[in-house]
Structure 1
Amino acid sequence: MVGAISRKQWFTLIVAVTLTAHYFFFRVPFVANDYGRNMAEWPLLADALISFPLLYYFMFRPSLKQFVPAWAGIGAAGVLLGRLLIPDESKQLWREIEGYWLLLVMVEAALELYLLVLVARRVRALLRLSGNADEALEGAVRSRLGSKGFARFALFEMRIWYYGLFMRKGEQLRFRGEQHFTYDKNNGNVSNQFAFIMVVLFEMPLSHLMVHLMSVQPWVAWTLDVLTLWSMLYLVAEYRASQWRPISLDRNALLVRNGVFAADRTVDYSMIESVTRCGNDISRQRGILRFRQFGSLNVEIRLRAGGRLATNFGGERPVSALYLSLDKPDAFIDALRARL
């Protein structure tokens, strides 16, 4: 059983146990913290900036280009956790760190701007060559950041920027696969997404006015507006990608795409045991993947024992079945059975 635990799970377990120890150190008076009178902050900072990044390096052996952004991400997460774990009355070092929150925001903005420029230049050039948006985005990220670690998050963000702002003439896009099947019209899928976006837009000025009337500082209202607009970019990207990114049958594998929020999955035909129609009453449970959005589930794909598929940001997990919501489920089932 121990041998089945992956390095990523070991890393997560070690970090979780260490953070739990820090939580009890800051929240429970006992002899190690002089019964609440001496809560040193530097061990948590050392773990966030040194111990955890070094543990990540020695366990995963990333390249320097992959390790630097991973180190920055681990450090930023550690600073945020410290803000939550350490009681306000015990903060000294952390109060100084929190004074640089604007710098952290600027770093995040610079990262997004870098990805935006990468989208605008590199991806546009690649799209002219093939018209395949997925390959263009993956090629742009791989050429700069590799294919693991931070590169997966960068690819996710680039898809958001591309489909949210830059995509034009979606009908001219090309995608890998020999047969393509859509899911945008199932139970009014994208129409419901559009309605949800309109509700958020309608609500934004009302929430802005309410925050002002509550006598909160003006910057709070404007920050709320910026965050709402930022979330709108993600919703619009999902809405537009759902119209054009199909689920496809390739020569040797099923290619499952579902908007931009869900990770793409490649399912070899040899992994598939059966494909049948199903109802919409499939509850969330371990070992299954549901690709529903606002549609209705209507296709069940059972995998053979031991099947594993990719997670959102790297690694794999056991999967026994996939459930899809397609516009033409019967045509998809017939086509997939013919290939099996």
Structure 2
Amino acid sequence: MLKSIKSKIPFIFLISISLFWGIYYQGNHPLNDFGNANFEWLYLLDALIVLPVLCLILIKNKKEAALKAVVLCSLAILIGSYIIPEQNKFLMNYLEHARFGLLALIVILELSALITVYLAIKSALSQQTDPDIAIARPINKLFKQNAIANFLCFETRMWAFLFYAKHIKPSYFTGEQHFSYHKKDGSQANLLGFIFIILLELPMMHFFLHFIWSPSAANIITGLTIFSLLFFTAEYRSVARRPVSISKSQLIIRYGLYPAYNIALANIKTIDLNTGFIARARTIKRYNYSGYPNIKITLKEPQNDIDTVFLGLDNPHHFIDSTNKEQKHAI
């Protein structure tokens, strides 16, 4: 927990200095001698010296720290190009041009790494290996198990189901018994509905924003919308192929593209039917697309403050019976 908080401090620091120096440079007040003391080095000192030092001190993995420092410093230069007045720029004019070359180098390195990962995943999937393991293994090997690796696993899982879903079957996943959830209350059909709505809305929204607001804003929002369309398409394909599973010792909850949530069978206190609405709570996890979740799992010992898990499955009675049987065998 402490490690996770430490890794976020550099980004929080970047947001803080961006807000503070943005107010400093853009206003006329005693702090900047009413616009006469808008020196660019004040911001650059924080952005290019303090920020990378924080990354190196707070992030244990030095490769990850260096990569994060480069990305955050590039972002800081981009922010500085907007908040520092043009008449006060000297070093910024050079840094703005250097930023693009640095980002291009990072993109090339990342693409080469991702191509390597893609080939490893494709090879593993061809051998009918568990797709989650096939995706996670090469990524964790390159980036270790951290926030970047978790994000890449999620993103790679999206692309895998978007382009390779036909080659993935529920039986490939780890577990002796697999349970589906895509038919419950028309879950998969609802996702398809979202996809059609986005497709219908996309051209109209683009032209509206293009003529009413600005072409740049229209392109940015359209790009984000297209990404959301790709996400929903991958999610639509994954829900029928990525099951909830029971192994000899664990309940493995996979729901759409999101990371699997594992519960030791020995840690399940009770498993019951549920028929009512479940509100969000810090101690609850909910896995359900439509309607009310139909299964309630109470844990003996909380997992990261979670003591109750609610599930929505196609055949809840069969799932409860199977889980109880496996629990007895596990004990």
Q: Which of the five TM-score ranges fits, normalised by the shorter chain?
A: 0.7 to 0.9
Q: Distance in 2 between matches of 1:193 and 1:45?
A: 46
**Matched residue pairs, number?**
323
Aligned counterpart, 2:60: 61
* Counterpart AA for 2:231: Y
After superposing the two structures, state which structure 1 stretch, 96-105 or 5-14, moved more.
Answer: 96-105
CA displacement at 1:210 relative to structure 2: 2.0
- 1:258 pairs with 2:225: no
Secondary structure class of the residue paired with 2:272: strand
Q: Distance in 2 between matches of 1:332 and 1:171?
A: 19
* 1:135–1:12 Cα change, 3 Å: closer
Which of 286, 291, 296 is 1:300 aligned to? 296
Aligned counterpart, 2:317: 330
Q: Distance in 1 between matches of 2:87 and 2:323?
A: 61
Aligned counterpart, 2:121: 123
CA displacement at 1:243 relative to structure 2: 1.3
- Segments of structure 1 that go 5 or more residues without pairing to the other structure are 309-317
Q: Distance in 1 between matches of 2:18 and 2:139?
A: 36
- 1:179 pairs with 2:166: no
Q: Distance in 1 between matches of 2:80 and 2:310?
A: 40
Structural mapping, 1:76-155, within 5 Å: 76-79=74-77, 86=83, 92=89, 113-114=111-112, 117-118=115-116, 120-155=118-153
CA displacement at 1:19 relative to structure 2: 4.6
Deviations 1:55-92 (A, max 9, x none): 3333341152x3343334433554566578x4878984
Aligned counterpart, 1:241: 238
CA displacement at 1:198 relative to structure 2: 0.6
Secondary structure class of the residue paired with 2:278: coil
The normalised TM-score by structure 1 is 0.78
Which structure would you say has the larger Rg? 2
CA displacement at 1:264 relative to structure 2: 1.7
Aligned counterpart, 2:287: 291
Deviations 1:313-334 (A, max 9, x none): xxxxx21211111111121122
Secondary structure class of the residue paired with 1:273: strand
CA displacement at 1:195 relative to structure 2: 0.7
Q: Distance in 2 between matches of 1:12 and 1:209?
A: 38
Secondary structure class of the residue paired with 2:169: helix
Q: CA RMSD in A?
A: 3.5
After superposing the two structures, state which structure 1 stretch, 112-121 or 162-171, moved more.
Answer: 112-121
The normalised TM-score by structure 2 is 0.80
- Segments of structure 2 that go 5 or more residues without pairing to the other structure are none
